[in-house]
Homo-oligomer: A and B are copies of this chain.
């Protein structure tokens, strides 16, 4: 008998997972609160950009999806760093060809995924269905439609792919011994556009992630296919209300925004302030009945660009576990949590640290020099010296192993620097002694 899985949430993770599940022969029903993204106007859909990196690409590639997506992405070959004095250093993302990121609109990614998933045998989408109740023992759900119609469904298991404020998680964990950590960054964000020039060309280098680092304001911008860029201004929450003249405020900190963000005043007034939340939790599944993927079980701040990539990678890990335990969903879910959670915990830490890097350290010449040393070593010692950023963004080495290896490399480098210092001091001391000896003679 065909087993049936109910997926709650048709974001990137839920949709991609439905494809993987279909490949394993499951019948899949995907329920999503929002309307079909393919029917929405551009303004209604969440039009933020995402940075696809190796983990997400691998998860899409395994199902042949990257070929469809390729024409929709813009490569980002490194970071363009806007410094206060007007300098615009470029920091390549990797030491090797192909170590780049890809900017994609959430809307383009999700419609591609839904189109592909819907074409798979056994996959059905139900948009405009909001989860009201989950019976975690029966793997049964109750939902309501936009017309207040009530719908029930039951399957062999329910997968919660319903994001950081997951209702599946809340229902599943009720009364269980579940650790739960939710933190909001004290900074919020607002989207600001850098339109293309009148002749259609980009106003600044296109194939890069642009960063305006600063201690009390930070901007990051992703390129779009139409040669515009979408900027995200990060500020401490209280600042958004305090700033009466956003153009002057930004021009003082980042002079070149004046020529780039042409609609700044209007967009600052009209766009809402978004918040950033991180979630860790210790219970990712309930027996063989319910499991969570993506933001529903591990949500991170966006500063390492790994939120969606790690969610897509969840699909490959869960798929592998389903392959290892073909007849036992409970064992598959348990293995998935055991294999995956230690690494997403590490990603949480890394994402928090990278906020500090983007905000404070990108302006430091010492930090930029260290990044160059890292890339130089990576070129000199290919495969043996791999910077942390490279491992996280351009490989599928599990996050925890990447961090361990980076820490070993750091220790080696510190040792080498210390040894070099000692050798230098010894040489100097000998030279001085010889010099003195010379004088004595």
A249 at the interface (CB under 8 A from B): no
Q: Taking the nearest CB of chain B, how far is it from the CB of A182, in angstroms?
A: 5
Does A263 sit at the interface, judged by CB under 8 A?
no
Which residue of the partner chain, among B181, B184, B237, B277, contacts A181 with CB atoms under 8 Å?
B181
The answer, yes or no, to whether A183 is at the interface (CB within 8 Å) is yes
Contact between A179 and B182 (Cβ–Cβ < 8 Å)?
yes
Question: B178, B179, B183, B282: which contacts A179 (Cβ < 8 A)?
Answer: B183
A275 within 8 A of B: yes
Flag A165-202 by CB within 8 Å of B: 1 or 0 each: 00000000000011111111000000000000000000
A182 and B177 alpha carbons, distance in the complex (Å)? 10
Q: Could you tell me the distance in whole angstroms from the C-beta of A341 to the nearest C-beta in chain B?
A: 15
Q: Which residues of B contact A179 (CB under 8 A)?
A: 182-184
Bound complex: CA A178 to CA B277 (Å)? 10
Number of copies: 2
Q: Which among B177, B182, B275 is the interface contact of A180 at CB below 8 angstroms?
A: B182
Q: CA of A277 to CA of B184 in the docked complex: distance in angstroms?
A: 22
Q: When the two chains form their complex, are residues B181 and A177 in contact, meaning their CB atoms are under 8 A apart?
A: no
Least CB distance from A167 to B in Å reads 12
A184 / chain B contacts, CB cutoff of 8 Å: 177-179, 282
Closest to A177 in B: B184
> What is the CB-to-nearest-CB distance from A174 to chain B, in angstroms, rounded to a whole number?
10
Proximity bits, A145-165, B CB within 8 Å = 1, else 0:
000000000000000000000
Most buried by B among A177, A178, A275, A282: A177
A180 lies within 8 A of B178 (CB): no
Contact string, A243-284, partner B, CB cutoff 8 A, digits 1/0?
A: 000000000000000000000000000000001010000100
Whose C-beta in chain B lies nearest to the C-beta of A282?
B184
How near does chain B come to A274, taking the closest CB pair, in angstroms?
11
A359 to chain B, nearest CB (A): 19
Residues of B within 8 A of A282 (CB): 184
For the complex, what is the distance from the CA of A282 to the CA of B237, rounded to whole Å? Answer: 15
Alpha-carbon separation in the docked complex, A282 to B277 (Å) = 13
Could you show 15 A-B contacts with beta carbons less than 8 Å apart?
A177-B184, A177-B237, A177-B275, A177-B277, A178-B182, A178-B184, A179-B182, A179-B183, A179-B184, A180-B180, A180-B181, A180-B182, A181-B181, A181-B182, A184-B282
